[in-house]
Homo-oligomer: A and B are copies of this chain.
Amino acid sequence: MSNVLQLIQRLAVVAQAESRQLAGIAGLQPVHLDVLRYLARCNRYSNTPAAIGRFLRSTKGTVSQSVKVLEREKLISKLSDAKDGRVIRLRLLQRGADLLKRVDEESAIQAAVEEVASDERLPLENSLTALLRRAQRLNGSRSFGVCSTCRFFNRLEDGSFQCGITHEPLTVDDSMRICVEHENEVLNA
């Protein structure tokens, strides 16, 4: 039995317990923080309930309820899409962003991460990234990375960025955000 697996399982338990506690202080549930965090990090193609459901691996019914709560608390706002009458666009409100910031400041895990020695940081980041990518591939699930690591991400001759699916230009900020359409580069096995 791998030690790494045990450590990850333990980390998951600790993170979950901490999330329960921190969400509780704010009068919310753990899943609500997950939604807020996602909305803080996703790009403009990916701010819909359906995308949240795929990202958090839950059903649309569940997401619908979470969204309802967050809207009631004025942490996010809803806006129906102009192009497609079925889809709802969600936006993180200032109150939501503030809450997220306040919550993360209380996080012992966040504080522990900040204490990671600088020479350990990059290797740790790389190992975890690879681990997540493999886990998601084995799960047959979407990869959910940021634009700049997507196979559809184009670097144009003039140095600007473009999405290979929508052919829209992407800003530097865009390129660091999570996208539903993300697909990893195909690596040689």
Residue ranges of A at the interface with B (Cβ–Cβ < 8 Å): 2-19, 21, 34, 37, 41, 55-58, 104, 108-116, 120-121, 123-132, 134-136, 138-139
Instruction: Check B123–A135 contact: CB distance below 8 A.
Output: no
Instruction: Check A121–B4 contact: CB distance below 8 A.
Output: yes
Instruction: Check B41–A6 contact: CB distance below 8 A.
Output: yes
Quick one: which of B5, B14, B104 contacts A109, CB cutoff 8 A?
Answer: B5
Instruction: Check B16–A128 contact: CB distance below 8 A.
Output: no
**A104–B34 Cα gap in the complex (Å)?**
25
Report chain B residues within 8 Å CB of A15: 8-9, 12
Extra contacts, 5 of them, besides A109-B135, A111-B134, A123-B123 (Cβ < 8 A), are: A4-B128, A9-B37, A14-B132, A113-B131, A123-B127
A11-B12, A138-B108 are known contacts. Are A4 and B124 too (CB-CB below 8 A)? Answer: yes
Instruction: Check A128–B11 contact: CB distance below 8 A.
Output: yes
Determine the main DSSP class of A at the interface with B: helix
Report chain B residues within 8 Å CB of A116: 4, 127, 130-131
Copies in the complex: 2
**A56–B10 Cα gap in the complex (Å)?**
9
- For the complex of A and B, the 10 pairs showing the least CB-CB separation, nearest first, are A17-B57, A112-B134, A108-B138, A112-B135, A12-B15, A7-B128, A108-B139, A124-B127, A5-B113, A108-B135
Instruction: Check A127–B120 contact: CB distance below 8 A.
Output: yes
In the complex, 10 of the A-B residue pairs with CB atoms within 8 angstroms, ordered by the A residue number, are: A2-B114, A7-B128, A7-B129, A11-B128, A12-B12, A12-B16, A17-B58, A109-B131, A112-B131, A116-B130
Q: How far is the CB of A92 from chain B (nearest CB, A)?
A: 14
Q: Which residue of B lies closest to A2 (CB)?
A: B113
Q: How far is the CB of A78 from chain B (nearest CB, A)?
A: 23
